[in-house]
Amino acid sequence: MPHDEEPLRPLDRTEEMLVRALGNVMTALPRLVDADMVRDGGLPLSEYTPLMHLSEAPHRRMRMSELAAACNLSLSGMTRVVNRLEKQGLIRRAKCQEDLRGWNAVLTDDGLARLREAWPSHLASIRRHVLDDLAGHDLAALAAALRRVATAP
């Protein structure tokens, strides 16, 4: 340890509880939402998420690498999900016009329709497992703090 740095201070009880709670949320929330969505309509969260990002993108298309980053997946993991969605006719691949070496994932009309069908289940699950428990809290401040945590170097 360099001499100009202070020794590490242990987490206090509140800090420890927060870190553990965040860890639990990071593992439990996707499982809970996924289970709700599969039960309600058959579309797992792993397939809903890329459809959602593509629906928000210009011309409903994104480079595979951008889609992977948006979904917090490796490129190979994203490729596997896109393969499944492509077989269902929900996404198609198109050569990237700006860089002919790359590929875009493009949301099809069927994919947009499937996303719209699954949206109520996703919304209800998020409300039940997240927002209902946070009523009365400053959601904008919480969202900003979590974004900083997620994007810290």
Residue pLDDT tens, the chain, 153 long: 555 678 899 999 999 999 999 999 999 999 999 999 999 988 999 999 999 999 999 999 999 999 999 999 999 999 999 999 999 999 999 998 887 788 999 999 999 999 999 999 999 999 999 999 999 999 999 999 999 998 888
Cβ 104 vs Cβ 96: under 8 Å: yes
**Identity of the residue numbered 21:** A
Distance from C-alpha of 89 to C-alpha of 85, rounded to nearest angstrom: 6
Say whether 95 sits in a helix, a strand or coil.
strand
CATH architecture assigned to 31-151: Orthogonal Bundle (1.10)
Q: What is the token pair recorded at 73?
A: 């997946």
d(CA 19, CA 46): 25
Q: Which two tokens stand for residue 145?
A: 């703090």
Pairing verdict, β 103-107 and 91-95: antiparallel
